Structure 1
């Protein structure tokens, strides 16, 4: 595969834990495309750190005595670049491969759009046929092209504005990228997705339980985002959060109460779920519509978990699905 010449304006920050061969492939995909590769390891036991070092990456071992978040790992990489700061940082997860040509497209876009702080492209699943859950992830990554409100874990960012706002919020167990973009937009910067291939991703979600935990984590992030960062100036994830509660919490709760207190005929309200699947099918296909509707239950579970932990004053813990 052809590699572009080394780009001295771009450094890469890779984060991961026990990614094995996926991490090796990730680092190799970056070689020749960026000036410097920093890999932040979060307690791997499979030799990932040693493999990354052997490939020329600068390895940082995250202090695992402090609760782990991806935001902490990304910030550790960001700080490691401060001695020779680049113009741009390519953040990428260790289970992804960078696509050839992406760096040139992304840096060219930022050079032409001086108020843009973040640019992302199309992330695709490497093995969408491996499971229905991988297929759902591939569809999830296909967001609209143009100016947007947030990016995901893979994105090219301007170093200076990201460093100036202190990077990512390290206490967020999920949803740290939208919150970062919220603060950048508050400073007058813009976020974009362009029509370009950016990364291959390997979700490796092969079991229903993995899918459930991943969606539960998303619900946790929505609840935390609304509770902590919503304001009159910017309605942060409010619509998504209300939809989660309506379908995943209030409708089943109200149905149960009415069925027990008044008459079992109230269970007819549950027909709203197949009706919702039917409504979404023309847009998403049956499989996408079914899991979108079913996903409101783990999302509601994640939202309830956030509020319970907050009420009890407990520290958040990462909800892992791999």
Structure 2
């Protein structure tokens, strides 16, 4: 892994920030305050909030972009709107994308911008995203475990990342039709154009999921399945094979195996013994991850498979799926 070094740069590129959100309440205020004074321009893109987010953002000093909600909302469209608002910034500038339910670590922008200054072939750098309150629910803990990804060169980033503006503009930004998984899809295109993605062992953001109910978790898993299917449809061909394995696993464990077992039971009750394949899979996974994570990884394949089927059903009908919301208002 390249070392994070500090070179002397007489004219460092300006760092701007684009924050997106809707009805994030206090979470948004905390997010914007964590960036205020650290960036050249602070832009907040609002997606129809009814909780006073727009006024609160302006009071903190952010420039506000209000999305036209006559067009179906996606986070990708909101991020592109924030990027478009930086039209007076050169392609050498940097932009920190942040979700409105996150706060940014005080040292992150200094650390990440120094890394980009020393590594000209890296377009995106991200760090450690941690869940703010993992003790509140098992679902928050699952998010915290999900954020714990390997350090070094990566295939993709999440919603929080520092990026070079030039490559983003050259590729047309995020794919606005995606209801989820827009960052990994963007990273696929960046890598195809010779850029690299890097994850640093440095604190980046604190995320406040507020997932306290099973229903919320299941919707989030369903949304992930939809993202897997659409990502595979876009970039599933070799050599990328983007999210092909994840899509197949969702269909295998969440649909094909249950359907096969149910049909077998109609022939012989002994077929119920085959249901042991699920606890066996749980035991196999538990050797590499915490027990609760292994359990929900197995269970999650059922809502994921629903998301996969939703994507393909809508694709056959020529329709687009609106976003799958699972969060509570701030």
Return the TM-score normalized by structure 2.
0.94
1:203 match: 209
Q: 1:293 aligns with which of 283, 295, 298?
A: 298
Deviations 1:6-61 (A, max 9, x none): x8710000000000111000000001211110000000000001100111100000
Matched, 1:187 2:193: yes
The residue number in structure 1 matching 2:40 is 35
Equivalent position to 2:74, from 62, 69, 72: 69
The one of 112, 117, 129 equivalent to 2:123 is: 117
Q: How much is the aligned-residue C-alpha RMSD, in angstroms?
A: 1.1
Give me the whole-angstrom Cα distance separating, in 2, the residues matched to 1:227 and 1:299.
16
- In the alignment, is residue 259 of structure 1 matched against residue 268 of structure 2? no
User: Is the partner of 2:290 in helix, strand or coil?
Assistant: helix
Counterpart among 263, 274, 283 of residue 269 in structure 1: 274
Q: Indicate which of 138, 147, 152 corresponds to 2:158.
A: 152
Q: Secondary structure at the match of 1:81?
A: coil
Deviation at 1:305, TM superposition (A): 0.8
- Residue 233 of structure 1 and its aligned partner are, at CA, apart by 2.9
Q: In structure 1, how many angstroms separate the alpha carbons of the residues matched to 2:292 and 2:321?
A: 32
Pairing partner for 1:83 from 53, 76, 88: 88
Q: Which runs of 4+ in 1 moved over 3 A?
A: none
Task: Give the structure-1-normalised TM-score.
Answer: 0.96
1:139 maps to: 145
In structure 2, list runs of 5 or more residues that go unmatched: 1-11
- 1:156 aligns to what SS in structure 2? strand
- 1:282 is displaced (CA, Å) by 2.3
CA contact (8 A) 2:13 2:94 kept: no
Do structure 1's residue 50 and structure 2's residue 55 form an aligned pair?
yes
Aligned residues: 315
| Selected match of 1:166 from 146, 161, 172 | 172
Contact 1:8–1:34 (Cα < 8 Å) also in 2: no
